């Protein structure tokens, strides 16, 4: 599954889809493992709804692996 498919799968559950899309756009050349690492590093300082969105994305990425 590619990043676009994963994004489309989680899109209905996101409160901040633009931020998630921007993050994925900036990681198009990254491996899924690198993306997961970056999400885990960034997630601590995020506000609640954005943190939830990135956890949804993280779960989808981990499931796809």
d(CA 33, CA 38): 9
Tell me, what's the pLDDT at 36? 93
Tell me, what's the pLDDT at 2? 87
Domain count, the chain: 1
Residue pLDDT, tens place only, 6-51: 999 999 999 999 999 999 999 989 988 999 999 999 998 899 999 9
pLDDT above 80 (res 1): no
All residues at 6 or more sequence positions from 46 whose CB lies less than 8 Å from its CB, including other chains = 54
pTM of this structure: 0.91
Domain enclosing residue 37, as ranges: 3-64
More confident residue, 14 or 3: 14
């Amino acid at each position: 599954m590619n990043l676009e498919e994963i994004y489309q799968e989680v899109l209905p559950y996101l409160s901040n889809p633009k931020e998630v899309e921007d993050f994925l756009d900036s990681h198009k050349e990254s491996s899924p493992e690198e993306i997961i690492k970056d999400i885990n590093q960034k997630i601590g300082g995020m506000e609640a709804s954005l943190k939830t969105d990135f956890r949804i994305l993280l779960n989808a990425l981990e499931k796809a692996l």
